[in-house]
Amino acid sequence: MVSHELTTPDLKSERRVRHAPRFFNMNRLTPYFFLAPAGAVLAVALLYPIGYMIYASFLSWNPSQRIHEADWIGLRNYTNLLKDPNFIESFFVTLKFASVVVTLEMVIGVGLALLLDRKIRGMSVLRTIFILPMMIAPIVVGLMWRYMYHPSVGILNRTLKGWGLDPIPWLSDPDWALPSVIIADVWQWTPFIFILSLAALQSLPQSALEASRIDGASTWQQIIHIKLPLMLPVLIIAGLLRLIDAFKVLEVILVLTNGGPGLSTEILSLRISRTTSEFRELGEAAAMSNYLLLLLLIITLGMFLFNKVMDMRQQRLRAAAQEAG
Amino acid sequence: MPKIHFDHIEKSFGTVRVLPPLDLQLNDGEFTVLVGPSGCGKSTTLRILAGLESLSAGEIYFDDAPISHLAPKDRDLAMVFQDYALYPHMDIARNMSFALRLQRAPRAEIAAKVQRVAEMLNIAHLLDRKPAELSGGQRQRVAMGRALVRDASTFLFDEPLSNLDAKLRAKMRTELAEMRDTLDKNMIYVTHDQIEAMTLGDRIVVMSEGVIQQQGSPEELFKTPANQFVAGFIGSPTMNFLGGSLAREADRLWVRGDGFLLPLTDEQSGRLNGNTPGDVSVGIRPSSFSADPKVGAPIELHLAVSEYLGAQSVLVTRCGEEEVLVEYDSATPMKSGVSMTFGVRPEDIMLFDRASGARL
């Protein structure tokens, strides 16, 4: 009696074991079934265009030709570009634009966040106003600033005139055009750094800040010794995200200067767009895009690497704490 | 060390008043414990003293000098926080030396001070680690070390042990008690744990709803609580309170309740003479019950559960409808479900006004 009761469940479980492999396989495949639609979208919308672009970059391809009619010229598009002074200049304009823009946005954004991280009445309204520029479509931002930069009816020059100063050739002077474009971009994207910094600030351990006050830190010392070091991981990620974006900026500059005067504001994405539409060199444009892609890939990899290092550090610290405790 | 005087300090957040006027004088070199249930204003009082919260009214004096206008760093005090509040990005040595580095003390002096304190607290081998690499107890030590390195005149502790597990808490409590005896400093300690308060404090200040209920030595609070709140808060297991009324019979006062009739001492009767409220709360500590019914007056209790704690057991009993805890020697076996007669000495009975809670 007793032994019978004991063996019955054993038999059952054995039968289950025999059936297990098939179930196991089904279970293992299930996630892939669910992932399949997303995978398909990814393949069609992302991988196919990139593959197409890489293929096109090896062709001498005029838009009037079908792609299979274009001549295969190997790496010549890439080597030509490296010898093209216009491309090189465009590359350095982009580099200059991106580095200046991100530096300014980081300094102003973090500064504003430090300034506004306090409890004052109306602060939530103020914060909302600060992040408004980010929500405006870039084309609209470009148009807005073009009107403001207008040499005679723009508000900037009218104000200068009102103060008895000489008007500034915002967009028509090669020395002024890049700063003007930078100002517009800083205006639009500083809020991005601002909200991320503010979020980072508000998640700082309050008691550590209080401890630093008792330890004798002034407001500045608190910022330098406690707040900024603790915000650093967020700031690095925010800066890299902005850098990636700054390398790809197009609309605002397209509307404001269309790359001029001369090549003074012709950033890479604008040059790519012009190479396709004006110079009708699809292969060369594709090669240029790939150079840009490569650059952004390096930054992105840097970001992932940074995240990975931070994760590993956290894990190591946690393990050490467990060992200690 | 300065004498600290809270002169009618008040604190309101908007329209919510968390501290009604509070007046408190702390003596030089004393270990003062502010104790009370959460939300009683003890932490707020400490944070006001530290300068982390502003005062709504009143003034704090250090040796007759007002300090409420001073920034936290100018008040010559150090603080240990409940969650340790270590700087996560600095190693332990830099955590401990932060204040000295801000003061631009000579480097050799900083290193020497940090080393001395670290050795005292047994954390010298951890100096190059980050806070995240330490266990809770070690972090707690570092937090204390950071306060000690400052060499301030007054130390503030905001529930420093409540994030530790029970065993570690007991150990750190002992170490704190040792520290209290070796350091000649003002120490002000906030806790909700009456055992910490009793074991550490030279003086205990019991607070409830922003009001000081009583202050005094641990013994004073235990033996002569000012009111029912203090009597119930101090002591473990907590004091039993039974509803009763006073009656005069055979030329002395008795207190009668559901299932008991206990005589009062002559001294108590004398105090109550002419002022006999009808309803009272009868307070008897669990340790006041004697197994020998001939000691004092007999009281019959119905035994519900016996909680074995080792040498002592806590008996959960019923007297009429009310629950009564009794501390009892575990050596004598007990059976649940039986009634037993205990003895209570009249001088161990405390009476409280049922309405106001005041001691009678």
3-state secondary structure B35-63: ECCCCCCHHHHHHHHHCCCCCCEEEEEEC
The pLDDT of residue B267: 82
The Cβ of residue A198 has, within 10 Å, a number of other Cβ atoms equal to 21
- pLDDT single digits (tens) B1-40: 788 899 888 888 888 888 888 888 888 888 999 999 988 8
Architecture of domain A86-318: Orthogonal Bundle (1.10)
How many A-B residue pairs are in contact by the CB < 8 A criterion? 80
Residues 6+ apart with CB under 8 A from A46: none
Question: What are the structural domain ranges in chain A?
Answer: 86-318
- Chain B residues bordering chain A (beta-carbon distance below 8 Å): 50-52, 71-73, 77-79, 81-89, 98-99, 102-103, 129-130, 132-138, 146, 150
Assess whether pLDDT exceeds 90 at residue B172: no
CA distances from A90 to A254, A272, A288, B52 (A): 14, 10, 11, 54
- In this structure, chain B runs to a length of 360
CA distance B124 to A36: 57
Distance from CA of B85 to the nearest CA of A (A): 4
Confidence of residue B294 (pLDDT cuts 50, 70, 90): confident
Q: State the DSSP code for B70.
A: S
A208 has a chain B CB within 8 A of its CB: yes
> Which has the closest alpha carbon to B248: B231, B234, B268, B228?
B268
More confident residue, A260 or B323: B323
Q: Rg (Cα) of chain B, in Å, rounded?
A: 25
Q: Is A320 on the interface with B (CB under 8 A)?
A: yes
Residue for token digits 């007002």?
A: B66
Indicate which of A119, A207, A212, A214 best probes the interface with B, i.e. most B CBs within 10 Å of its own CB.
Answer: A214
Q: Is A308 on the interface with B (CB under 8 A)?
A: no
pLDDT on residue B115: 93
Residue of B nearest to A314 (CA): B132
Phi and psi at residue B31, to the nearest 5°: -100, 105
Alpha carbon A37 to its chain's center: 26
**Residue in this structure with the two tokens 């980072």, named with its chain if needed:** A200
> In chain A, which ranges are continuous DSSP H helix?
2-42, 48-56, 76-83, 85-116, 123-135, 138-149, 155-162, 174-202, 206-214, 219-222, 228-248, 251-256, 268-277, 282-324
- Could you tell me if B38 and B88 are in contact, meaning their C-beta atoms sit under 8 angstroms apart? no
* Per-residue pLDDT tens digits for B199-254: 999 999 999 988 899 999 999 999 999 999 999 999 888 999 998 888 887 777 88
| Pairwise CB contact (< 8 Å): A317 & B133 | yes
Residue B125 gets which letter from DSSP?
G
- The CATH topology of domain B4-233 is Rossmann fold (3.40.50)
Nearest alpha-carbon partner for A130 in A142, A150, A115, A119: A115
Please report the pLDDT score of residue A8 as a whole number: 46
CB A212 within 8 A of CB A186: no
Nearest to A215 among B51, B98, B138 (CB): B98
What is the reported pLDDT for A110? 95
- B81 contacts in A (CB within 8 Å)? 207, 210-211
Look up residue B77 and give its two tokens: 């005090």
> For B78, which residue in chain A has the nearest alpha carbon?
A214
Give me the mean pLDDT over the B137-155 stretch: 89
Nearest to A208 by CA among B66, B132, B128: B132
pLDDT beyond 90 at B332: no
**DSSP 8-state symbol, A301:** H
Q: Where are the domains of chain B?
A: 4-233, 240-353
Is residue B270's pLDDT more than 80?
Answer: no
**What residues in chain A have per-residue pLDDT under 50?**
1-16
Alpha helices in chain B (DSSP H): 42-50, 92-102, 107-120, 136-150, 166-182, 194-200, 218-223, 228-233, 266-272
**Which residues are CB-neighbours of A148 under 8 A, at least 6 positions away?**
A154, A155, A156
DSSP string, A88-115: HHHHHHHHHHHHHHHHHHHHHHHHHHHH
State how far the alpha carbon of A60 is from the alpha carbons of A14, A91, A308, B84, B87, in Å: 67, 22, 41, 67, 60
So what's the pLDDT on residue A12?
47
Can you read off the two tokens belonging to residue A149? 């930069």
Out of B50, B130, B134, the one facing A214 most closely (by C-beta) is B50
Tokens representing residue B36 in the block: 């009370």
**Worst-scoring range by mean pLDDT, B60-64, B82-86, B179-183?**
B179-183
- Taking CA–CA distances from A208, the nearest residue in chain B reads B85
Q: What pLDDT score was predicted for residue A42? A: 92
Quote the pLDDT of residue A319.
83
Q: Could you tell me how many residues make up chain A?
A: 325
Contacts of A211 in chain B (CB under 8 A): 79, 81, 85-87, 146
> Do residues B99 and A216 touch, judged by C-beta distance below 8 A?
yes
Q: What tokens were used for B352?
A: 């409280």
The tokens describing A93, both together, are 């304009």
Please tell me the predicted confidence (pLDDT) of residue A6: 45
Helix (H, G, I), strand (E, B) or coil at A235: helix
Q: If pLDDT is split at 50, 70 and 90, which confidence band does B274 have?
A: low
* Tokens of residue B67, six digits: 């300090």
Q: Are strands B211-216 and B203-208 parallel, antiparallel or unpaired?
A: antiparallel
The H-or-E segment that residue B319 falls in is: strand B312-319
In DSSP terms, A81 is beta-bridged to none
User: Distance between CA A272 and CA B31 in Å, rounded?
Assistant: 75
Average per-residue pLDDT for chain A: 85
Q: Which two tokens stand for residue B45?
A: 């009082």
Rounded to the nearest 10 degrees, how much is the dihedral formed by the CA atoms of B90, B96, B101, B105?
-150
Does the structural domain B240-353 have CATH classification 2.40.50.100?
yes
DSSP state letters, A147-185: HHH-TTTSHHHHHHHHTTPPP--TTTSHHHHHHHHHHHH
pLDDT at A64: 84
Question: Hey, is the C-beta of A51 within 8 angstroms of any chain B C-beta?
Answer: no
- Return the SS3 of B154: strand
Can you tell me whether residue B326 is helix, strand or coil?
strand
User: What is the overall mean pLDDT for chain B?
Assistant: 88
Interface confidence, given as ipTM, is 0.81
Q: Which amino acid is residue A52, in one-letter code?
A: Y
Q: Following DSSP, what letter does each residue of B229-254 receive, concatenated?
A: HHHHHSSSSPPEEEEEEEEEETTEEE
Q: Is A121 helix (H, G, I), strand (E, B) or coil?
A: coil
Residue A215: alpha-carbon gap to chain centroid? 39
Residue of A261, A253, A251, A271 whose CA lies nearest to A89: A271
